[in-house]
Structure 1
């Protein structure tokens, strides 16, 4: 799956911005890990282990439903790039 994202970035982003786009994507992805850990710990402290686990399971199911019903699911083509070819 990661190979697909790399090819998508390389085909859509200007070559001089690929590093910045990749770094930004990694920053956004990895910054959610400590946020999730803090939220999970806070929920565990307030509610207990079992209710926290049930809420996480319900959240995962809701996320799956949202992603499957989203209109983006049917989109297969990228927007046309407006890049000017190098002279």
Structure 2
């Protein structure tokens, strides 16, 4: 618990004067959903969610991302990777 609090304190200090304390990758799966929930609701961090769309998103994953962003009131940046770039 002390290590977690020290990490949160470090993140908040680094985020002071900036719009976010942390950036979290959001896939729409349970692991990233839980991490976003923990960061926002339990730890009180200001989160920027980032999603990399390689063209293989399932509809449930997309719905989960949309629901999480709304429920947690966090900003989302989606980076779309075009097929030629993915192929390379």
Q: TM-score band, normalised by the shorter chain?
A: under 0.3
Larger Rg: 1
**Larger RCO (CA under 8 A, 6+ residues apart):** 2
Comparing both structures, which one devotes a greater share of its residues to strand? 2
Comparing both structures, which one devotes a greater share of its residues to helix? 1
- Return the TM-score normalized by structure 1: 0.22
